[in-house]
Structure 1
Amino acid sequence: MAILGPNGAGKSTTIRNIMGILYPDAGKITFSNYTDNSIPRHKIGYLPEERGLYKNVKVMDILLYLAELKDYPLDQAKQRALDYLKKFDLEGKEKVNVDELSKGMGQKVQFIASILHEPELLILDEPFSGLDPVSQELFKQEIRQLADNGTAILLSSHQMNLVEEMADRLFLIHRGKKVIYGHMDEVKKEFANFKCTIHGTNKKEELEQLPRVQRVEQENAHSIVYLYKDIDPVQWLKQLPDTLDVQELRLDRISLHEIFIDIATGKQLMQEVGEAYA
């Protein structure tokens, strides 16, 4: 599940409440029949947004130390650490000090530390930040594998394309309150309006006269026509006049990124979710 929201929405506060760093003023946190402070810490893995590992410590030593803090058997931790270092292209780095690693390598080590003890709940705060495409793919593959094996994953990220690709459920908060919650497909169906990208030379005023148009944006030789979500896509396309210059056309729903922008700037969704913004 992905937890999203603009800066200051309450994402980090929510995560800190789950971790037991902060305590909720109201309500309760429940996980696997445990409530609030009774949640065993060894059942949780956490990759914080602010990366932080002891600098003058060898990679293997820090991994085993953190695993021991989670009451994980040392012999199992060492073998799993070696396996993960190999998997993340860090083979031979176990005796290297953390401060000698590149930023990307350090991030891989911290990710390994968060999953080494086989947590039941894994919290990932901006896990893809600063990673190159190859490393991003490695992270994505491992996260999917963990989810397939039954690990509950809570993902917080501003990289909407990756969230949209990986998350099956979405929890969006704004000003400390729930705005959207549901399966990704259901959320997009309910909140994502249609847009039609038309490549060709057309006047903005003419496009604005098409049925069920919210707004039109133009750049160079293409136009993006934003439509209301209640349209019938096939029927709408049939109504396009022959006078339009259409060299290429694509009709789809707006992306999760665009839904997020609507929330962050208080646009369209403010009217649709009403009291959630009060």
Structure 2
Amino acid sequence: MLQLAGVTKAYGGRLALDGVSFSVRPGRLTGFVGGNGAGKTTAMRIVLGVLSKDAGTVTLDGAEVTASDRRRFGYMPEERGLYPKMKVLEHIVYLSRLHGFSNADATARARALLDQLGLGERLDDRVETLSLGNQQRAQIAAALVHDPEVLILDEPFSGLDPLAVDVVAGVLQERAAAGAAVLFSSHQLDVVERLCDDLVIIAAGTIRAAGPRDELRATHSARRFELVAASDTAWLAGQPGVTVLQADGGYAVFDVDSDDTAQAVLRRAVAQGDVASFAPQHPTLAQIFKEVIQ
């Protein structure tokens, strides 16, 4: 398990990270979200040793991360980092060779990975001739080709169309299922919500929420319900302990002040006529994000 504990980083008099603590567990996808300048990239670069920290620890399986450990990491920066004049296949083979694989093994790995990422027909094209989306796929291949135990990706879905997002998401899920600890940042909250097992939300250099996605949704869930009934739901506005958020004929979304109030609403709805649905509403990641960064 990769773990940050109390990590602090300042630039001049400005704190970029202030006591940042969170974990990235093997076999799980951890989504790392926050606005521009929140501290995501700084935290990732400290994990990778690209930046030094002012305080705190970064550990892998309980021991301080070393340069040797980082050879087992895979990293994809947000900025393009490939050599534009190299051909796609030879570039990924070259990077694999740097990790100690033989030419034959490196070539086999690179071909299989590029094919999986949808670049099987572009192996002999120069990187600079690829679209931005295909360059992104090639950069992901560069991070994955040595089968890293820890994978850190900064905006891996940037510039990808919906089909390409699904391809990359499938590859990352496969790596996590094989035991890799995967940390990825993204501004595409719908993708993060669909893909991640765990979630870390950062704002102004501090962690505002962290933990399993479903637990966070439960923790930040208000007593909010959706009612779909055959009769008009206008009566909800006068129900004690109920705050109506949306009402349109037989459809309503509302908050209640207690479980007893929810049950009272359900009883009255049934008394009014047929009830097609009465269920709690769970917040989306976007709603949780807005709540915790305020």
The residue aligned with 1:48 is: 77
1:170–1:183 Cα contact (<8 Å) kept: yes
Return the TM-score normalized by structure 2.
0.76
The partner residue of 1:182 within 211, 223, 226 is 211
Return the TM-score normalized by structure 1.
0.80
Give the letter aligned to residue 195 of structure 1: R
For structure 2, the 5+ residue unaligned runs are 1-29
The partner residue of 2:263 within 231, 235, 243 is 235
Give the letter aligned to residue 210 of structure 2: Y
Q: Aligned in 2, Cα 1:9/1:89: closer, same or farther, shift over 3 Å?
A: closer
Percent identity, aligned pairs only, is 31
Quote the Cα distance in structure 1 between the aligned partners of 2:46 and 2:116. 32
The residue aligned with 1:258 is: 287
1:41–1:70 Cα contact (<8 Å) kept: no
Deviation at 1:210, TM superposition (A): 4.1
Task: Map 1:135-146 to 2 at 5 A.
Answer: 135-146=164-175
Task: Map 1:1-278 to 2 at 5 A.
Answer: 1-197=30-226, 207=236, 209-213=238-242, 216-217=245-246, 224-227=253-256, 231=259, 235=263, 237-240=265-268, 251-264=280-293, 266=294
Give the letter aligned to residue 158 of structure 1: H
2:244–2:252 Cα contact (<8 Å) kept: no
Superimposed CA distance per residue, residues 178-233 of structure 1 (whole angstroms, 9 cap, x where no aligned partner): 22222222211111224344679766xx65554544562579996543456x6469
Looking at secondary structure, tell me which structure has more strand per residue. Answer: 2
Looking at secondary structure, tell me which structure has more helix per residue. Answer: 1
SS of the residue aligned with 2:38?
Answer: coil
Q: Aligned in 2, Cα 1:44/1:152: closer, same or farther, shift over 3 Å?
A: same
Superimposed CA distance per residue, residues 154-190 of structure 1 (whole angstroms, 9 cap, x where no aligned partner): 1212222222222222222222222222222221111
Deviation at 1:17, TM superposition (A): 0.5
Deviation at 1:98, TM superposition (A): 0.7
Deviation at 1:148, TM superposition (A): 1.0
For structure 1, the 5+ residue unaligned runs are 267-278
Residues paired across the two proteins, number:
262
2:220–2:283 Cα contact (<8 Å) kept: no
Quote the Cα distance in structure 2 between the aligned partners of 1:65 and 1:124. 20
Give the letter aligned to residue 182 of structure 1: G
